[in-house]
Amino acid sequence: MLKTKNNNQVHLDGVSLQKISEMYGTPCYVYSKNSLINDFEEYKKAFKSKKDILICYSVKACSNINILKIFNNLGSGFDIVSLGELERLKHIGADPNKIVFSGVAKSDEEIRASLEYGILLFNVESIAELENINNIAKKMDTKANISIRVNPDIDPKTHPYISTGLKSSKFGIAIDQAVDVYEYANKMKNVIPIGIDAHIGSQIFDIVPFVDSLDKLIELYSKLKDKNINIKFIDMGGGLGIKYSDEDNPPSKKEFASKIIDRIKNLDCNLILEPGRSLVGNSGYLLTSVLYEKQNYDKDFLIVDAGMNDLLRPSLYDAYHKIEEVNKTSGERKKYNVVGPICETGDILAKDVELPPLVKNDLLIIHSVGAYGYVMSSNYNTRPKAPEVLIEDEKIILIRKKETITQIMENEFNNE
């Protein structure tokens, strides 16, 4: 939790953010272990009356292995979308029976590696992928558990880039074709259809789209049961929103759970959830230092050392992230556009942020960057990626070193 102490400095879980910046420089990602644990435990508590539930943290939201270890120790399963994410889970010894593999473009190498590790199931996105998994499993003399990801054509009322359940989306199989696809899969020798999967989007604030989607999955479940296709898992995906601004009021996990449990309490199958943002989003912060203040015509700018290469969401989605000063001062505040060092007009972290007068090296903190923050960072303009720090019991733990320019270039040296 962020608190301003007597010295007018903002602290996270009792640790001075100013001290962290002095130790590791800026930009720097900082995470609260307490927040990560609390958000996971909230899910468990909310769904405690549903015994057959598997909470699979969506690794793509924040994939640092030290954070994955925290969730693994809490009993979490995992939702992955790449071979790299699978390797991370193998590294921490994650239970393969708690891993589901999603994504529209699973390669042969990814399918083979997942079958070798013995994951719970694949969320299949197309007939071509289904046939490929069957063929690979046959060559390996094994069988693959699968869910079909169905597209329920539900509008989640969120940003179009993160809406994944509309009929215009690249994801999933049209739900009105699903029974035929399941029957086709059920005749195959090397796949076993054991689940139904859907994921309608991300940063959703209304429970109604989740319920509407689930109702369609339950209807499909009943149709498959009538055809003696034994479905053991209904996977609702993730997508529950988090609070980015004072105006955001997402539903609580308890409210979300009560609506879902009420719908599935009489079904003889397990529930899978794939939360990502709602587990890590508000646990992470990005520290950045002021480089310059300038005025262009009638607009005031603060130029900072973090840019769109460090935090892409504002440039990509026009996403809002709260920004405040770390060292609190009195005095008149004015509105700034907070911009980064990248040579792109779109390198804007926030517009019209009210801040006090600031000078070079003053420290700012950007909120709610735990999800889709570091994982979407890049080396654009040959800028090293930022370090990551975890706060645990008032201790500062470096969980990723700052990248060096030599590391960025090292794969290019072999042609010299």
Per-residue pLDDT of the chain (416 residues; tens, 9 = 90+): 898 887 899 999 999 999 999 999 999 999 999 999 999 999 999 999 888 999 999 999 999 999 999 999 999 999 999 999 999 999 999 999 999 999 999 999 999 999 999 999 999 999 999 999 999 999 999 999 999 999 887 764 543 443 443 444 556 798 889 999 999 999 999 999 999 999 888 788 888 888 888 999 999 999 999 999 999 999 999 888 898 987 778 889 999 999 999 888 888 899 999 999 999 999 999 999 999 999 998 899 999 999 999 999 999 989 999 999 999 988 789 999 999 999 999 999 999 999 999 999 999 999 999 999 999 999 999 999 999 999 999 999 999 999 999 999 999 987 66
Tokens 């994921």, residue located = 199
In angstroms, the CA 80 to CA 411 distance is 26
What are the residue ranges of CATH 3.20.20.10 in the chain? 33-280
Strands (E), 113-250: 121-124, 144-151, 173-174, 191-197, 233-235
The domain 2-31+281-415 is placed in CATH, from the list 3.30.470.20, 2.40.37.10, 2.40.30.30, 2.40.50.140, at 2.40.37.10
- The boundaries of every CATH 2.40.37.10 domain in the chain are 2-31+281-415
Closest CA to 94 of 82, 79, 109: 79
Residue 252 per-residue DSSP state: P
- Residue 136 to residues 98, 107, 130, 141, 143: CA-CA distances in angstroms? 22, 11, 10, 9, 9
Establish whether 343 is a catalytic residue. yes
CA 234 → CA 33, 52, 135, 186, distances in Å? 30, 11, 25, 17
**Domain 33-280, CATH:** 3.20.20.10
Structure tokens of 200?
Answer: 């309608």
- Report H helices in 248-318: 253-264, 277-280, 313-317
Catalytic residue among 28, 56, 62, 343: 343
Backbone angles phi, psi at 243, to 5 degrees: -90, 115
Confidence (pTM) = 0.94
